[in-house]
Amino acid sequence: MNLKIVEKVLIGFIVGSTIPVILGVFSLVTLISLNNMNKELIENKGPVIKITDDLIDTLLAQELYGSRYLLSKKNGMRILFRQRSVEFGKLLSQANNLPGEKNPLLSKIATLHLEYNELFSERFSLTKKTSNKKKEELNYEIVKKQESILSTINDLSVQAYGDHDKITRLIAKTVDHAFVNTVSLCMLGIIVGIVAAVLITKNVSGSIDKLKTATRRISEGQFDHVPEIKQGDELWELATEFKYMGSRLRQLEALHLDASPLTKLPGGVAIEKMLEERINKKSPTTFCLIDLDNFKAYNDHYGYSKGNELIKASALIIKDVVTKLGEMSDFVGHIGGDDFAVITKPEYNKKICMEIIDKFDKRVPSFYNSEDRKRGYIMGKTRQGENTSFPFVSLSVAAVSNEKRKFESYIELGEIVAELKEAAKKIPGSSYVEDRRTHNSATL
């Protein structure tokens, strides 16, 4: 497979995600269906069942108040009769306003109830002089009409209960089917995902094993070893870089053979090779020489161990600043003793050097005891053996660039930067001197 790794992973992802997408769509459709069925139960069938019960209660109450009025002729009973009639109509209106299709039985009940009310009105209008036969005929018709209403309401109730049970069973069946289908799709998704993962992993793992072997051999010093990877993905591209890496590691190994055992920074040989390489390539380069002033006095006063700690702290400050403000290609070296070197680009050198001075000056008092810090200097002897005071250790930094002038060799550049360093050391405290000379100028 000559596809990129990202393309292989993408194919595996698409294959593996197809089943979950199908499962998600199926689940969504099932949930929508279940939601609609539950909505039908809650908003239609359930309310219809309750309304049918209320219609029966209201109709029976209406019949009761009507009968009491016929017996007592009290207007209060007739008023209650009418109220129950109005209540019955409201219940029918509620049923008609429920979501879903309108049930024709509701219209039938409304018609029957209207006729029922008319029969009662006619019965209420009869007087004592009306024959008993007429009264009995109306009473019979009222009873028959009431039975018709109750029968129709019962049909509506039975129908609602039947629909309710039917939907309930359908919900249960849908849930069962959804469970089976979900489990099946999940299992299929797992199988497809495993197959895709195995195929992609098998395709990539072979190359990774070869790269691991190559890494181990290069780490053992076999810098010419290049892994053989045939497929044209990123691992193949990485394998082609191993040849360059091996060559570069061989160079770095040579550069670091003379590294300082104290600071672990590259030494003079590495610095010379780096300068020579940049000068030959005509790369924009600035060589910064950093010297610790009054270090011998400090070393004599506090001892060799404390002096080593100050050297290591200085190296760390220089390295951290260059890493923070410079580029990956910048170089930090330890020439030896209290001399350090920084190789960077002209646009970075002043910012780097001034930051090194600032951080060093803030840190260096911590290497003195409280008495000396309070005094601001230490007592020591000159090279001639005379007692004198020495200021705190400071930095003299000299910088030479090929930005405005050309150098034929690193030796020429080194001579100039050494000259500048001597000029910087004549300035009290930490100082920075930069070469600004061109071919036709001799001014620092």
In sequence order, the 6+-apart residues with CB closer than 8 A to the CB of 295 are: 307, 310, 337, 338, 393
Instruction: Tell me the C-alpha distance between 159 and 49, whole Å.
Output: 9
pTM of the model: 0.47
How does pLDDT run across 78-114, given as a tens digit for each residue? 999 999 999 999 999 998 888 878 889 999 999 999 9
Q: How confident is the model at residue 260 (pLDDT cuts 50, 70, 90)?
A: confident
Identify whether the C-beta of residue 425 lies closer than 8 Å to the C-beta of residue 291.
yes
How does pLDDT run across 313-363, given as a tens digit for each residue? 999 999 999 999 999 989 999 998 999 999 999 999 999 999 999 999 999
How many residues are present in the chain?
444
What residues are paired with 344 via a beta bridge?
286
End-to-end CA distance of the chain: 63
Which is higher by pLDDT, 76 or 29? 76
How does pLDDT run across 211-256, given as a tens digit for each residue? 777 777 767 666 666 666 666 556 656 666 766 676 666 666 665 6
How does pLDDT run across 370-397, given as a tens digit for each residue? 999 999 999 888 777 788 899 999 999 9
Instruction: Tell me the C-alpha distance between 208 and 205, whole Å.
Output: 5
Mean per-residue pLDDT over the chain, rounded: 85
How does pLDDT run across 57-86, given as a tens digit for each residue? 999 999 999 999 988 889 999 999 999 999
Which is higher by pLDDT, 36 or 223? 36
Nearest one of 302, 284, 290, 320 to 395, comparing CA atoms: 290
Beta strands at 431-434 and 394-401: parallel, antiparallel or unpaired: parallel
pLDDT at 444: 43
Domains of the chain: 5-193 (1.20.120.1730), 259-434 (3.30.70.270)
